[in-house]
Homo-oligomer: A and B are copies of this chain.
């Protein structure tokens, strides 16, 4: 169950505090307790506490932060829950597929799952901050889950995966062997945090400006594509040092140093 302690639920800009309470309850029933709220419209409220029922402790311990950056700063893996199709496809998976990635995270890695606004979900900007997008395969004609219901389904899948793995380890039924998407188990270097990743993307963009590089056909999408590329690699610290070293060296050479 140690893995469940490393999962953080992040709710962005939630309008109805009842949904925050319901999400806290959904989390606790599945053994997940780290809740971070980015700019909730109303919180705390009596309504949230009522809907949390026996999970008031999760609600009281919830942190309220002003930006998504702060919510994700110390996380190595970021999922975004998304119902909408985007213009640039992002690595997309069902909650069940996502569990395989989570099970393969190295020990100690923190995992964030980000949920958007009740009416509009996550912005494209916010979705680009995620390594992967999770989509609950819903009804084509009306597939929009309530945000707390989506938290329940995804936390349930995470718990089911952990239980299946435990069962397999303790000699129970042979569980489906976890797929190793990026062979990230037994990695030799710690993975970078979301904060480090943002600094790298900023450094990359600066360097592109310094060298005067832009994609004449699609200037706006350039950084989005670059971000998608680097996000999905899950860089480790040595790799990031290497890449930042390259960028810094390019910048120095341009100044004639």
Which residues from chain A sit less than 8 Å from chain B, CB to CB?
A: 22, 25-26, 28-31, 51, 53-55, 88-89, 91-94, 96-97, 100-101, 136-139, 142-146, 148-149, 152-153, 156, 159-160, 163, 176-184, 186-188, 208, 211-213, 215, 222, 225-226, 228-230, 232-233, 235, 238-239, 242-243, 245-246, 249-250, 253-254
Contact = CB atoms under 8 A, between A and B. Distances in A.
B29 A213 contact: no
Copies of this chain assembled into the complex = 2
Given A91-B183, A188-B88, A254-B253, A152 B160 contact: no
B29 A143 contact: yes
Given A26-B149, A137-B163, A229 B225 contact: no
A71 B235 CA distance: 29
In this complex, the member of A91, A101, A242 whose beta carbon has the largest number of chain B beta carbons within 10 angstroms is A242
A152 B25 CA distance: 14
Nearest to A233: B233
B139 A30 contact: yes
A100 B137 CA distance: 19
A34 to B, nearest CB: 14
Contact of A238 (B31, B177, B225, B238): B225
4 A-B pairs closest in CB distance: A149-B152, A213-B249, A31-B139, A179-B179
